[in-house]
Structure formats: structure tokens, C-alpha cells
Amino acid sequence: MAVAFSTVLTMIVTADEFCGYGSFGPHNPYSMSYGMLWNYIQEYENPKLPEHLRPSLRGYEISVGVWFSEQGVATGCGGQVIVRKPYQKGITISQHLEQTITALLCPSIKTWKFRPLTYCSKAVPVTGPIVFRVVGQKFALIEVTDPRFRKGPPPMERKEN
């Protein structure tokens, strides 16, 4: 009995040494859905939308990929831009429109602050999509309202001066 208890205790004590190894640890960078990523946005701003794009993007959701470091700093933005009606598949857009949307969104996203993701007592880099909706003259960050995904304080919007 004492040997079995000692063996179990040893496995528990040394489990942190194996944390993140094998198939259970996060990949580097850790990839997450927007529902989860929303919780790590600490401070953001809604970028302005040029008037000539408003009619063609009104009613659509626009998602763009973002990467942030262990310190919560956006280190990358772009990749495939997805434009879709809510709850529908993405539509095909021109390469020019994709580049235009990336050029409008990424400079703003790179100024955002993110809460670091901690795994096994260590901060890890993260990648995932950021989703916007066209509201008036801006791209507006879509709020995650599902209580299963809401963890901690919501992101704070930076106000323009």
C-alpha cells in the first residue's frame, strides 16, 4: 500500500515537469477560436471604414488572423481575410479587397493590448481570428455573448481623442 501511494505521489509531483509535452500541450503558437481569443483582448479600437467600402461590406462579418506574443503584444496580422454573412460560409473576394481590408485593420490591431495566455505556469504565444462587423463608419469588434466563452473582464474600447 505504501509503495503504491509513493508511486502516485511521485507522478503527481513530477507532472509539471511533463507539462506541455506530448499531445496535450498547446502548439507554439497556440491556436484558438474567436470565442476564446476575445477573452484575451484587453484593449482595442474599432478602425474606421472608408466610405467607398461601406456599401459593399455592410451586413457582413470580416475576420482576419492575428498573432500575439507571450507578453500580450500583437506581433502579426493578416493571412486569409474571410468575409461572410452571419452564420453563413465565407464569400470569395478579390485579392485587392483582401489587401485593402488587411491594410485597414492590421495597423489598428497591432496597437491593441492582449492578456497573455498562461499554460503550465508559462506564457505562450497565441494565434487566432479577430471578427468585425461593419457598423456605421467603422469596423466594430463583435462581442462574444455566449456565457460558455465569457471569462474575466470584457475588452475595453479605446476612445478617440
Into how many domains does the chain fold?
1
- Residue 37, Cβ neighbours under 10 Å: how many? 23
In a domain, 5, yes or no: no
DSSP annotation of 73 reads B
Quick one: average pLDDT of 76-105? 94
In a domain, 1, yes or no: no
Q: What is the pLDDT of residue 101?
A: 95
For residue 50, what pLDDT band results from cuts at 50, 70 and 90? very high
Class of residue 126 by CB neighbours under 10 A (exposed 0-12, middle 13-18, buried 19+): buried
In a domain, 16, yes or no: no
Chain Cα centroid distance, residue 157: 16
* Residue pair 37/129 in contact by the 8 Å Cβ criterion: yes
In a domain, 130, yes or no: yes
* Residue pair 143/39 in contact by the 8 Å Cβ criterion: no
Q: What is the pLDDT of residue 20?
A: 56
Nearest to 70 by CA among 15, 16, 121, 131: 121
Q: What is the pLDDT of residue 14?
A: 43
Provide the CATH number for the domain around residue 105: 3.30.1150
In a domain, 17, yes or no: no
Phi, psi of 43 (to 5 degrees): -145, 135
E strand spans, 11-124: 30-31, 41-44, 61-68, 74-84, 90-91, 113-114, 117-119, 122-124
pLDDT, one tens digit per residue, over 115-143 is 988 888 888 899 999 999 999 899 999 99
